[in-house]
Structures are given as structure tokens and as C-alpha cells.
Amino acid sequence: MVKAIQVGLGFWGFDWTKEVIPQVPTVEMVAYVDANPEAIARVQAELGVPQNKCFLSLEEAARSVEADLVIATLRTEAHYPVVKQALELDFNVIVEKPFASTIAQAKELVALAKARNRILMVSQNYRFQPAPIAAAEMIGAQKFGPINLVSIDFRRHAPSQGYRYWDMPDPLLADMSIHHFDLMRMVLNDNPKRVSCRTWNPAGSPFGHHPTGVATIEFEKGVIVSYRGSWMSNGPATPWAGEWTIDCSEGEIWWTSRDHFMGKAGPDRLQTRERDAQPKQVELAPVEYPDRRGTLAAVAKVIETGSVPARFSSGEDNLYSLALVQATILSAFRDGEWVEIAEVMERV
């Protein structure tokens, strides 16, 4: 059993406490931390967590309990100070996406984890789903030969769907597209080279910043991805992972994942189509621990066994997903000018 301390019991953090962590049998909770006493009171009242497991700071918890892992489920701006402190206290860490506010902070945390010989994982939960895993395997096996074009669409109408983060800067690129960017890297098994991106705030939108954007992303092996995302779409809502069409020289792979909408969840779907043939639905292998349960079970297993599996979203791996966020934001700021990933990776 991996003993864990959770830090950050807010809206999403409490969902981890209640719905995710109890479903991972290899993790035992030894402490819960939040700087806000109301958040602490909620875990005590709603989940019956005893007072001696609750703390207002990580430092206090570390003095009182023995633990192997910190589960950091805070807003992005709090990731850097809390993860840094957790690593300095010699804990392994799993942190919610986006990893950090800047590449420089993320690099510093990666270096610190290495120096302390600790595991640092970013919870890129969309990786732990049947469709992207199957797509990554098909692309790896070159099922339909080389890729011609990858097209991805993400559509949601935030105002009618219980959205909460109206004033967040870059609500699309930093908060949502990070999932799609990370999946691009996993499915293509490649890293991005350069991007061109435009974003905007549609008329009548309640967002303070840009919820809609389009990007062209060139990968190192030459694949081009055409990405369109919107929180202000009146079209049919896509599943959270978006709708993907991977056009290859001998056929097409179409898939979508995390089909949760208005309280209903549908299964992942993937279909293949040989040129001029009818599409074939592919039966997807279930994932033992899907989604956030998957990231948590994965980090617990790495801590227990010391062996790191394929497609593990370590902090180091995640630098390129974060770089896609930063590069698209920079390109959008420069009116769609091409931005090399190397430029944002080297920024201090």
C-alpha cells in the first residue's frame, strides 16, 4: 500500500477525495490538507474523515504522518509552490494538470524530483481511456501506413453546461487543450516542432479571455495536426477528448473518448475505414483503472515496483505538453505567427 497525503480539497480536489481515491485499492490515505478550514470541514462532515488526519498545511501534515505520496489537486498557480515543498520533504508527487504555470517552473520541479530521486507524475487522466490507447497502438503498428493529416474538433457550450472558470486566462489553451495536446503526443508517439494558432472571444461570450481557437501543429516526424476547439460552440457537443480523424495513406482511424455530457457517460468509440470501404467499429479493450483512477494507480505502482510503464506521464514527459500550451498562447499573441517549440522550451 502506498500511503498518501492529498493537498487541495476544493471543487475538483473534493471529487478526487470522494470519487477517485477510494477506488484505488493500492492507495491508503493518511492525511488531507487544505489551507481553507471550510474545505477541511467538508471532508470531515461529508466523508467522516477524523480530525487527526486533517491539516491546514503540508508541512504540518508531514510532521504528523508517514507518507510516500502527495496528491496535489490545487489550482494551477498553487502547483509550483506545493509540489516544490512536497519534493523537498522527500515525497513522491502526482499533480493535476496543467503541471505548472511556466516551463521554467516545470523544469525546476523535474530537476528537483531527479535530485531527490522521487517520482513526479502529472495526472493526464485522458491517457487512461480505451480509445486513445487503441489509437496509439494502431498508429505504432502503422495499421494504415503513414499519416496524411490529423484533424481534431472539441466543441462545448460552456454557458449552458455548468462551467465555472469565466475569468481564467486562456480557458481553452491552458485548461482544456492541454488534454488534447497531451493526447496528440501520446497517440502519435512524437513531440511537437512548431505551432501556429489564433484565438478569440466570440460576440456575446461571458468569458473574460479567449475560449475559442484554431491551431496548426507540426510534429517532429512531419505529421501535421489541424486542431479546432471552442467552449462557445452551438454545434453538437463532442466528448471531452474531442473527435479525432487520423487520415493515413491506406485508410482512416476515427475515435472519440470521455463521452460525458449532462450527467450521462457513453463509451469510448473507435472505428477504422479502409479507402472506399464502410467504417468498422472496433471493440475496445477495457482499462482496469480508467481516467484519474488510472493515473493514481499508475503512480502507486511505479512507487511500489520502481518500474516505469510506457506512456507514463512523468513531469519530464509532460514538459512538451506544457510547451504546446505555451507555444500556442504565444503564437495567438503574435497573431498566428509560427512559434518553434524550442523557443518556449528555452525560455527562462
Ligand X SMILES: NC(=O)c1ccc[n+]([C@@H]2O[C@H](COP(=O)([O-])OP(=O)(O)OC[C@H]3O[C@@H](n4cnc5c(N)ncnc54)[C@H](O)[C@@H]3O)[C@@H](O)[C@H]2O)c1
Q: Which residues bind ligand X (CB under 6 A)?
A: 7-13, 33-36, 39, 73-76, 78, 82, 96-97, 125, 175
Of residues 239 and 251, the one with the C-beta less far from ligand X: 239
Residues 6+ apart with CB under 8 A from 19: none
Nearest to ligand X of 86, 223 (CB atom): 86
Q: Which CB sits closer to ligand X, 114 or 260?
A: 260
Report the nearest approach of ligand X to the CB of residue 8 (Å). 4
Smallest distance from the beta carbon of 36 to ligand X, in angstroms?
4
CA dist 325 and 195 (Å) reads 10
Q: Which is nearer to ligand X, 9 or 147 (CB)?
A: 9
**β 269-274/251-256 pair status:** antiparallel
Q: Tell me the closest approach of the beta carbon of residue 180 to ligand X, in angstroms.
A: 12
Cα 300–Cα 6–Cα 15 angle in degrees, nearest 5: 95
Supply the minimum distance, in Å, between the C-beta of residue 79 and ligand X: 7
**Residues 6+ positions from 117 with CB-CB distance below 8 Å:** none
Cα-based distances in Å from 79 to 7, 76, 99, 122: 10, 5, 7, 11
251: which 3 cell numbers? 485508410
Q: Which is nearer to ligand X, 98 or 251 (CB)?
A: 98
What minimum distance in Å lies between the beta carbon of 117 and ligand X?
A: 24
Nearest to ligand X of 87, 138 (CB atom): 87
Spatial separation of the C-alpha atoms in residues 283 and 207, rounded to whole Å: 39
**Smallest distance, Å, CB 50 to ligand X?**
19
Closer of 139 and 323 to ligand X (Cβ): 323
CB closest to ligand X, residue no: 10
Cβ atoms within 10 Å of 301's Cβ, excluding its own: 17
Contact 27, 50 (CB under 8 A): no
* Residue 99 Cβ vs ligand X, minimum distance, rounded to whole Å: 9
Contacts of residue 272, Cβ cutoff 8 Å, sequence gap at least 6: 138, 143, 144, 251, 252, 253, 254, 279, 280, 282
Q: Is the sign of the CA dihedral 232, 235, 236, 238 positive or negative? A: negative
Nearer of residues 39 and 344 to ligand X, judged by Cβ: 39
The SS3 assignment for 90 reads: coil
CB of 74 to ligand X, least distance (A): 4
The three cell numbers locating residue 295? 493515473
Cβ-proximal residues to 290 (8 Å cutoff; 6+ apart), any chain? 128, 129, 130
